[in-house]
Amino acid sequence: MKLEEIRVKIDKIDRELLVLLQERMGYALRSRKFKESVTDSHREEAVLARVERMNLDLIEQSFTRQLLKTIIEESKRLQLEDRPLVAFQGEHGAYGEVAARKLAPDGAYIPCMEFIDVFKGVELGHFDLGVVPVENSLEGAVTQVNDLLTTTELKVVGEAKVLVTHCLLSIEATDYREIRQVYSHPQALAQCRGFLLRNNLEPHPFYDTAGAAKMLARENPKAAAAIASSLCAELYDLEIIKEGIEDGPSNTTRFLLLAREPYDGDGDKTSVVFATPHEAGRLYGVLRLFADENINLTRIASMPLRSDPGNYCFFLDFEGSQKEEKISEVLKEMERLTITLKNLGSYPADTPAA
């Protein structure tokens, strides 16, 4: 191998080590929820002893022990900070994490494989908060999340509107003229189709935008790039070749912040989900309550009821807080007109996407 090739390999391994260390710290933070003290000397010694038994001929045992002790000490330091654990779906760098950083700037951000893992993790107390996408300006409602909202006991305590800006990312020092393959989530690839066609780039579907960036950093496939967020460039030490490559501007996703307890302030927006009897005029009767009180609706969406095929539940967002007398009265009247009514909570409304 040439010296430059060796250095490329070393850089790749360094990136992998840091990504894995970030994952380890995340799991260490999650373990905080299962123990009374951050110090467990028996566990620490077991970890050190297990690693020392490994036959690593190029690494001195004393170095291995010191390295692991440093990592353990850093894990304990993080646990003592008592930062709220904020779950999101996807890998580190996903747009869900972008929203989480906006909604909980002092949080520790924990990736989950599926949306249900976010809901269940918060419900069981494994996480303090959860961030999930509820709707997108191009794709519409996020069906799986809306479905989970109909059954959860969690409360909505905030929202964030995130402008989805796709970036073409590559390993640093990659000649962009040599790039031929681009990896990303199918939705992101579709949203950047014009850019890919104009530049004769071959799309390769991947399970997640941030996952594609993570793979690129770890494996460094030849002549390849990824479409993901600018946050991914920071987290995985990737270079932004071009920013804003999506075909349509103003691609915005609205995220909800979930917690076990309701928002303790007044809030200026409220979300409910309800179902009415399958009879003429019943939905109109509910909506008229808001018109009569001059309450502005900001979202209305419908979804089939799994428990009652042929009938629908409705998601309603409106301006104002349930602590206001007129809204409190409307909610009481809704109970009379509906067969089910779930108040998801009042919370601060977000400003335009950023």
CB 246 within 8 A of CB 191: yes
For residue 106, what is the DSSP state?
Answer: T
Burial class (CB in 10 A: 0-12, 13-18, 19+), 336: exposed
Q: At what angle do helices 3-31 and 209-219 cross, to 10 degrees?
A: 130
Q: Give, in degrees to the nearest 5, the angle at Cα 90 between 189 and 235.
A: 85
Which of 218, 252, 257, 284 shows the shortest CA–CA distance to 104? 257
Can you tell me the distance from the alpha carbon of 89 to that of 74, in angstroms, rounded to the nearest whole number?
25
Convert 136-153 to b/e letters by CB count within 10 Å (16 or more is b): beeeebbeebbbbbbebe
Q: Which residue has the tokens 């909610």?
A: 331
Instruction: State both tokens at 264.
Output: 């303790």
**Residue 97 identity:** E
Q: How far apart are CA 295 and CA 331, in angstroms?
A: 12
d(CA 128, CA 138): 30
Tokens coding 35: 């123990």
Q: Which helix (H) or strand (E) segment is 196 a member of?
A: helix 193-198
Q: Which residues are catalytic?
A: 253, 255
Q: What tokens appear for 258 in the block? A: 């979930």
